[in-house]
Structure 1
Amino acid sequence: MIARILAVAIGLFSGLAASQIPEFAQQYRQRLGGAIDELRRVMVRFDDGAQASGLRRADAIRKLTADPDPLIRNQGEAQDEIAARLGRLGAQRRAFVEAGPFSRLLIFIRDADPGLARATYLDYEPAWPATTEGVTAGGAGFLAGWGLLLFLSRIGRRLIPGRRRATGLRSA
């Protein structure tokens, strides 16, 4: 009886823990949108400055990175990295939009931006997601935790000598 109660408790805990994976991914996607918006603002300012000088983005970056002054060269390299990151994050966002509920989890696991994932982790607030992914992950976590504990308790009963189930018959 105690094993079953413990199994349900472990199952509930496992379900809650497993449901946090889609919730974390959802909070990551929100942060992703904010990062893209901010990087776009930076690139628009850079593009406007380049255009005012009669240059396209690629030409302006090339000019900056070729400059002998380390400060100017570093600024060119930084703009090149910002443009590349904006492209990666934008592609990831499009992939999230085009993907189905469970595919989004795979995209997150496979392609998460390390800096963005770390920032999401540092600000993460656990929640019980009411999405299909969250409910399914929670249910799967419950079944995994509950089943594992019941399985281990049955193995334990077989390994402990002298421990047998009551058969309902008593000897006199």
Structure 2
Amino acid sequence: MILRALAVGAGMMGAIGASQFPEFSQQYMQRLGGAVDELDRQITRYAADAAEVGMTLPDYLDRLAKEGPLARTQAQNMISDMARYEQLAADLGALQGAGPFMRAKLATHLGDAQIWARARETYKPAVPATFEGATFAGTGFVAGWLGLTLIFGFLRRLVLTLRRPIRRRRV
């Protein structure tokens, strides 16, 4: 009886946790979009600075990197911003238009640590009142319940096996 109650409790915890995915992933995407927009603005400014002196952006960065340690650091930061933009824009492109079920399938695109941390800081759990939330809750319940049931079943069999007396062969 206690094991069943624990399994149901694990199922409830799984339901509560999994039901939060649709809204959290939506908030993550909003933050991702904001980060991509801001990085795009910066890169556009970098390109305008390069054009102002009659250079392409790659040539401008090469020249800047040769100007000394301070300028080299600035060029490296700009290159880092451009690489981050490319990665985040690709993630946003993969996630745009995806519903909650597809976002779950594309969860690897929800992996930027900075955006994840900021979304987590401001996220407030809520009771899902949508079909998607209920589906994720049901899946989480089954996963939690089944996972704990399997663990207890394994442990029970292990204990029963260890309690069995070892039979000696008669020669």
**Structure 1 length-normalised TM:** 0.73
Residue number in structure 1 paired with 2:124: 125
Of 51-60 and 125-134, more deviation after overlay is shown by 125-134
- d(CA) in 2 for partners of 1:119 and 1:15? 24
Deviation string 1:131-163 (CA, Å, 9 cap, x unpaired) is 55432211111223345566778899999xxxx
Unaligned runs of 5+ in 2: 159-171
Contact kept? 1:40, 1:86, Cα under 8 Å: yes
Paired residue secondary structure (1:31): helix
Q: Please state if 1:45 is matched with 2:33.
A: no
Equivalent in the alignment of 2:24 = 24
Q: How many residues align?
A: 160
TM-score, reference length from structure 2: 0.73
Q: State the distance in 2 between where 1:47 and 1:106 align.
A: 36
Matches within 5 A, 1:107-146: 107-109=106-108, 112-146=111-145
Q: CA deviation at 1:8?
A: 4.7
Displacement of 1:10 after TM fit? 4.3
For 1:17, give the aligned amino acid.
Answer: G
CA separation of 1:77 and 1:3: change in aligned 2, threshold 3 A: closer
Paired with 2:78 and 2:36, the residues of 1 have a C-alpha distance of: 14
Report the residue type matching 2:18 in the other structure.
A
Give the CA deviation at 1:15: 0.7
Cα deviations across residues 43-97 of structure 1 (Å, max 9, x unaligned)?
1222221111112222211211222x11111111111111111111111111002
Aligned CA distance change for structure 1 residues 6 and 114 (closer, same or farther; 3 Å) = closer
Is the 1:23–1:128 Cα contact (8 Å) retained in structure 2?
no
Tell me what 2:103 maps to: 104
Stretches of structure 1 that go unaligned for 5 or more consecutive residues are: 160-172
